[in-house]
Amino acid sequence: MSQCDTCQIMEKLYQCCGRHPLTGSKVQLQLADGTFVTACPHLDLHARCSIYESRPLGCRQFICDWHDMAENLEYRKTLEHRFYSYLSTRDIV
């Protein structure tokens, strides 16, 4: 099990696989609620990397700030608010 297995999809979209996909490409991903977001083409609807074992070096070396602060509930609330604020500026939600 990797540290990524415990991340929710919204956390991944804000922290790494949405804003900074290190694969070099992005696609439109439709979430379960029907929302479209921009994400790494290898992120599946369950917030898992479909190429985890062979992911690019940049993805392997990515340091996840979220993982280090995952137990801080206030940080989680702030992160979620920032994520939805970001989406609203992109006409995504």
> For 12-67, what is each residue's pLDDT tens digit?
877 778 766 777 788 888 877 888 888 888 888 777 888 888 988 888 888 777 66
Sorted by sequence, the CB contacts under 8 Å of residue 66 that are 6+ apart come out as 7, 11, 15, 79
Nearest residue to 52 (alpha-carbon basis) of 39, 61, 43: 43
Find tokens 């921009």 and name the residue: 38
User: What predicted TM-score, i.e. pTM, was given to this entire model?
Assistant: 0.60
State which residues form the domain around 53. 3-89
Give the per-residue pLDDT at 10. 79
What's 19's DSSP letter?
T
Number of domains in the chain: 1
What's 66's DSSP letter?
H
